[in-house]
Amino acid sequence: MRRTRERVAAYWNRRALGGVWVLSVRDTGRALLQAGRADPIGWSADGRSVLTLGWDSSEVVRVGLDGRTEALGTLPFRDPSCVSAEAMAPGALVCSVPERVSDVWMVEGFDPEVR
C-alpha cells in the first residue's frame, strides 16, 4: 500500500473486480485505477499517476489518474519487491530480489543399522 497526502493506492480484492484502487483518506471516495493482479509500487513525483507491477508478468505500468496507461517495461527477474523512487529521480525504480542459497550435506555411515 502506498500513500500520498490525500490518497492511498492499494491492491483491493474485496469486490467483484479486484485491482489497484485509489482510496481517499478524507472521505469514502474510491476508484478502480487498474483491474487485474498488480501491486501499486509508488506514486509519480507529481502525484498524477501510480506505478504498478504485474504479479504474473513483472511488467511495470504507469497508470494515470485520468485513466491513461503507459507500459514502462518488464523487469528481467521474477518476484521482485519494488518501490518507486521518482520523488528523487524521474523514472527511478528500486527493486530487490530475494535470493535463496542453501548448502547440501551428505553424511555417510550416519545410521549404524544400515551397512
Q: Is the pLDDT of residue 68 over 50?
A: yes
Three-point CA angle 53, 57, 31, nearest 5°: 40
Instruction: Tell me the C-alpha distance between 36 and 19, whole Å.
Output: 5
pTM of the predicted structure, to 2 decimals: 0.71
Residue 88 C-alpha cell reads as 528523487
Torsion of CA 56, 59, 62, 63, to 10 degrees: -30
pLDDT, one tens digit per residue, over 10-65 is: 888 876 788 999 998 888 888 899 988 888 988 888 889 999 988 888 888 999 99
Cell, residue 1: 500500500
Phi, psi angles (nearest 5°) of residue 51:
-90, 135
